[in-house]
Amino acid sequence: MPNPTEIVLCGLDGVLALIDHRLHFLRNDEGIRDWDAFYAACDDDMPNLPLIQRLNLAREEGYPVLLITGRNAAVRGPTEAWLARWNIGHDGLWMRPADSRISTARFKIEIVERHLAGRKIRRVYESAHQLDFARWITQQSIACTLFGPNQGNGAAREILDLRNIRHACGHITLYPFYGDDDHAWDDRCAQLAQNSCLLCQADALDAERRQRHAQARAAAHERGLPPLAGSDRQIAWAEGIRLSAFGAIDKVQQWVDRHAEAAQAEDPDHWQTVTQGIARATAWLEEQTDARWWIDHRQGIANHLDAGRTLLSAVAEQEGYF
């Protein structure tokens, strides 16, 4: 018999609602993210019919289904109309408040912690785009089923299939397939199975970033650079930028050492001005401990000679060292 205290949680965008048709509002050549238009187009979402059947069956068996979405509550009306149109039964709908600026993951976590404490969550259905929330759910020892993005070409909606893919990491992701290219779907499934799931891929990237951060921090310490100030994420990002900058400065110094004798003989006064400017610009950069500064000035910073020259020249000119 179902446990009446057990509930099922489900996301909307990329889970119950397939949203490929409106992603162009967020991903486009202009780099413009029009969130209002993205949410406003939700009434034309394609329903994930196989999942809808699962959820309706769960409700028939006595398990309440609660929907939690980061979708803006300004479109609650169209959202509820869409749910009714596709006969999606549910026992609660939480939407992010229109004036909220917190992340989708943080919003969903707060809903679970504040409103569902003490309730046993039987399963969570979530989009593979919401990995932070999915990771938190699994850390609570709650079963989580991830839905990947559509793997068909999306050119038609008449054919919809939901495929279980067991990835190389052993985890399973459900992928919707729709479009008019169904002849290629088996090949695509084989390709997906050869790779780790998106959550494991993200964890691997995080581990790689942490390793690079540790290496950059160790290199900064060895060089005698002061610690950076900022959030953990800012510092991790800025450490790598600063490491590239000083790697380039090292190459400039090596160039200086190679040409010092000839340049000194040709024009000692000018050469002294150049070397003093380089030294003062280097010292100025060593004093920049605000992680935000390095992030804001990352454009053009790279670990090669020309980038080092450009960086030092810009600082020297800005500070009047030349």
pLDDT tens for each residue of 18-34: 998 898 898 888 888 89
Give the three-class secondary structure for 42: helix
The yes/no answer on whether domain 6-149 falls in CATH 3.40.50.1000 is yes
What local confidence, expressed as pLDDT, does residue 319 receive?
86
Which residue ranges make up each domain of the chain? 6-149, 223-319
| Contact (Cβ atoms closer than 8 angstroms) between residue 112 and residue 86 | no
Phi-psi region of 98 (alpha: psi -120 to 50; beta: other; left: phi over 0): alpha
Confidence band, pLDDT 50/70/90 cuts, at residue 154: confident
**Mean pLDDT calculated for residue range 281-302:** 94
Confidence band, pLDDT 50/70/90 cuts, at residue 322: low
Would the pTM of this model clear 0.75, i.e. be above it? Answer: no
What local confidence, expressed as pLDDT, does residue 20 receive?
87
| Contact (Cβ atoms closer than 8 angstroms) between residue 140 and residue 122 | no
Q: Is pLDDT of 1 > 80?
A: no
Which of 57, 134, 46, 103 has the alpha carbon at shortest distance from 233?
Answer: 103
Share of the chain above pLDDT 90, in %: 70
Q: Is pLDDT of 229 > 90?
A: yes
Strands 46-47 and 17-18: antiparallel
**Mean pLDDT calculated for residue range 11-15:** 95
